[in-house]
Amino acid sequence: MRRRQFLTSSLAAPALAAPQTAAARTREFYELRRYRLQMGEQRKVADAFLHEALIPALNRLAITPVGVFSADIGPDSPSLYVLMPSLSVETLVTAEFRLEQDAEYLKAGAAFLNAAAKEPAYARKESSLLAAFEGWPRLTIPAATAEHRSRLFELRTYESATDQDHKRKVEMFNSGEFDVFQRAGFWQVFYGDTLVGARMPNLTYMIGFPDLAERNRMWKAFGSDPGWKKLSSSARYNFEEIVSNITNVILNPTSYSQI
């Protein structure tokens, strides 16, 4: 119990250090997990585990909706990304402890959880903890998800050279960039400030679209938007000064993804 309390308080501290406005108190937290896989049996085993064991168990912990996405092209392939939202950072931090007590989860996920070292269920697992932006406090599920329409997602991570530069990039989103994405037609899923993870300081966000042709059209609309031109021409938001690297991955939602 002491270890659990230590983890919760340690991870929550960065998010709670600033004065808490009403919007900040209703912001979500996210765990973004990536399972690196090898070609072959691992994908089948991982899909079964996520679909039949992990997602139902997380939902029982009120972690919902859970998104699962496949990276099939590029250096990240093959891999599966799992997005887990919660209003409580403690719920996310203690989820693994609680799953260990969930008999239904342990039974349904046995093949994955008990895989032998010579035949592991995945190559590596990586995870980040994020806090939602104050200007976009909750994850938004695209209408295409409920309607079972075709959809793709883009996961983008912006790294900054310093914490102050990073804060200005977050401020830029809160100062009008959300509106530009909206006018361009993107489905805005979530925006998160990384509290714990690799290559910090950074932020990560996810946008969606029906297909790659629509993505290209939307990015062109984004770049030509008068609001974006005004925002990006501001000396305070000079791109070269506040962003040192961008990583973007195109993701396919799995058939069982809740996003």
- Give the integer Cα–Cα distance in Å for 190 and 27: 11
CA distance 33 to 68: 9
Q: What is the pLDDT of residues 81-126, one digit of tens each?
A: 999 999 999 999 999 999 999 999 999 999 999 999 999 999 999 9
Pseudo-torsion of CA 210, 41, 56, 62, nearest 10°?
A: -70
Q: What letter represents residue 35's amino acid?
A: Y
User: Is 158's pLDDT higher than 50?
Assistant: yes
pLDDT at 16 over 90: no
% of residues, the chain, pLDDT over 90: 84
pLDDT score recorded for residue 68? 98
Assess whether pLDDT exceeds 90 at residue 14.
no
Altogether, the residues listed in the chain come to a count of 259
* pTM score: 0.89
Q: What is the DSSP letter of 237?
A: G
| 27-253 is classed CATH 3.90.79.10 | no
Q: Which residue has the higher pLDDT, 24 or 172?
A: 172
Q: Give the pLDDT score at 25.
A: 60
Predicted local confidence at residue 143, as pLDDT: 96
Backbone angles phi, psi at 85, to 5 degrees: -100, 150
Least confident of 22-31, 141-150, 169-178, 235-244: 22-31
Angstrom distances, CA of residue 97 to CA of 3, 68, 94, 133, 167? 11, 21, 5, 27, 33
How high is the pLDDT of residue 72?
A: 85
Evaluate whether 209 touches 152 at the Cβ level (below 8 Å). yes
